[in-house]
Amino acid sequence: MIGRLNHVAIAVPDLEKAAAVYRAALGAAVSDAMALPDHGVTVVFVELDNTKVELLEPLGENSPIASYLEKNPAGGMHHICYEVPDILAARDRLKADGARVLGDGEPKIGAHGKPVLFLHPKDFCGTLVELEQV
């Protein structure tokens, strides 16, 4: 069902500083910052040959990333994103197998302009999983 790894997301307390580390220390190409109010985050993408690293910081008081950073003030891996060809079919299959879809279960438009869903970390070895339709 899942396709390729789309990105690994790292929550950071300061997006500008984190992007600068990736640019300066690692020589990486980093996208411009993009605010995603529906998700409560601001993101940049570190572009790699085979995938991306998403750096995200809280946007607004109700950001789900804010509580993560309270527990992990230096930041850390937040989620992993896999591509799927049909997000609704993937959702329905996962739910039938007992997996929990976060939120209302309906896809939202993600940072790449494509539908995304998040799956409960307790159902996936302690890792928050994002599915993105491609």
Evaluate the CA torsion angle 59, 120, 80, 1 in order and state its sign: negative
Q: Among residues 82, 127, 130, 128, which one has the least CA distance to residue 108?
A: 130
Catalytic residue (one of 54, 57, 83, 130): 130
Burial class for 46, CB neighbours closer than 10 Å (0-12, 13-18, 19+): buried
106 is catalytic: no
Q: What residues pair up with 30 in beta bridges, in sequence order?
A: 46
Would you name the residues annotated as active-site residues?
Answer: 130
